[in-house]
Amino acid sequence: MAILKAKEYFGVIGHNKNSLNEVCHRLDDKLAFKIIPSLEHIKKLNGSLGAIAYVMDCHSELHCYNIETISRDFSKKSLYILSACISIPMLHHALKLGVKDVFHLPMNNQALTNLLVELNETTDIDCFEQESITSDFMPAIEELISHPLEGLFELIEQHFFDAPSLKQASNSLYLSPSRISHMFKDLCGVGYCQYILCRRLEESEYLLRQENSSVTNVSFAVGFSNPSHFCRSFKEHLGLTPTAYIKKELGIELSCLYQRYQKLRMELLPIAKRQQAKNRRLSALN
């Protein structure tokens, strides 16, 4: 666990002192970092920053503005978000802005290792010596990319609203429905039907935020058979009714299932983004 002389620093910026202190305590003796007091100071340190971490405790327009500013003005620097509150729409927005990765606070050991490995491989920021952080390490995202069920996730993305059955999926994957079900649960930690439900709720979060959205229209658009079932499921897993969500009321409390799903989607979204880019390249060649 030797720290060598720093070539570059990991810049850490945020407004909540408690969150900043928590992050700094976690990073202490793990890598060379500096606290950035304001957006203006990023320009002064820009030459010595290998990457930037934006720390946030909640969702707000101020945080969105700051992240967009950093992404735009310092696009050559890898940007990470460390947040105590994560939502799927936020992850989509982060990917759109080119954010390198999003980590949930407090960071567990696996998340910290992921960050250290990535910084060690992509920047000149001094972390642990390479042998001590890369041995026997394989990110979960790599397992998902190379897994036989990779095609199933693409199928779900295209048809989650009409819920492709395991029998339909088996025709595409050349695996039995029972085999797919067991493999899916082992890989993802949630059942196939549970994943479909959560994927629909994720999409509903986005649609409910659109102007003039209707709970009834959204419920049918994401594949629920009736609005009552949609409202019960939304309230069960997000802690608010769809109507309260539209009004941006406070009190979101995610169920354990939806939290597990969010963590899984944090790994799947970059895969989907890469697949979309690959499809665009193939279309351009045809």
> Domains in the chain, please, with CATH?
9-136 (3.40.50.2300), 138-286 (1.10.10.60)
pLDDT per residue rounded down to tens, the chain (286 residues): 444 444 789 999 998 888 899 999 999 888 999 999 998 888 888 678 999 999 998 777 888 899 999 999 999 899 999 998 877 777 778 877 889 888 888 888 888 888 898 898 888 888 864 444 444 444 455 555 556 677 788 888 888 998 888 888 888 888 888 988 998 888 888 999 999 999 999 999 889 988 889 999 999 999 999 999 999 999 999 999 999 999 888 788 889 899 888 878 877 665 555 555 555 545 555 5
| Cβ-contact 52, 93 below 8 angstroms | no
Q: Among candidates 173, 253, 153, 237, which has minimal Cα distance to 202?
A: 237
Instruction: Decide if 238 contacts 248 (C-beta within 8 A).
Output: no
Token pair for residue 84?
A: 């105590």
